[in-house]
Amino acid sequence: MTFNFDLTYCQKWENVSYIRHFVADMLSEEFYGLSDSKRVSTATSELVENLVKHSSSKLANISISREGDASEILLKATNTVSKELLNQFETIFKDIYKGDPKTVYKEMMLRSLGEKDVSQLGLARIRYECEGEISYQVSNCKDNPKLCQSLPKTSKHQLLTIIVKVPMSDQLLNSNNKEGAL
């Protein structure tokens, strides 16, 4: 089943829950198994939460797609970042790939116990619990001026897109009855 959901939204904490529930409903057990739906909605929630916490502008974008019989769902989360935020992200990104997903997640969880208001667990959680393959791209605001419209014209902010491939382990359910429903 092919689908593409693309949402540009105002960054508010309430939206994290709304988007997570929408994704869980969209991928309900009628279409995908429970474990796949949970992994994708959890990864989506973590990405949207990161967008709310770490964006330089008022808008962000999340897209969720699957092409045909692909064995994965592709998530892309895009926001604007300063050079400082980009450097912080790149450090975290390197940290989450320093070992196997379970070990890294446990180490980051233990490290976060002493930190106040900064867990930095989201990407490690996606990698371990959701079995997500994470990558990222950095581009110029000219590539998506809508996301950058609230920034000063002299801003040197860039667009950061975090890309997550979440594997689908369960078979598509009721595919004969639901084809094209999304």
Q: How confident is the model at residue 129 (pLDDT cuts 50, 70, 90)?
A: very high
Q: What angle do CA 80, 81, 87 make, to 5 degrees?
A: 150
Query: Residue 132 corresponds to which tokens in the numbers above?
Result: 């997500």
Q: In the predicted model, is pLDDT for residue 97 greater than 90?
A: yes
Query: Residue 12 corresponds to which tokens in the numbers above?
Result: 């508010």
What's the pLDDT at 30? 55
What's the pLDDT at 155? 80
Work out the number of other CB atoms within 10 angstroms of the CB of residue 15: 19
Q: How confident is the model at residue 75 (pLDDT cuts 50, 70, 90)?
A: very high
Give me the domains of the chain, ranges plus CATH numbers: 3-170 (3.30.565.10)
What's the pLDDT at 161? 95
Q: In the predicted model, is pLDDT for residue 170 greater than 80?
A: no
E-strand ranges in 35-151 read 59-66, 72-81, 133-140
Instruction: Give me the mean pLDDT over the 27-43 stretch.
Output: 80
Q: What angle do CA 32, 28, 126 make, to 5 degrees?
A: 75
Nearest 5°: phi and psi at 163?
-115, 130
How many C-alpha atoms does 82 have within 13 Å on its Cβ side? 9
Work out the number of other CB atoms within 10 angstroms of the CB of residue 64: 26
- Tens-place pLDDT, residues 137-158: 999 988 888 888 888 877 889 9
pTM: predicted TM-score of the whole model, two decimal places? 0.85
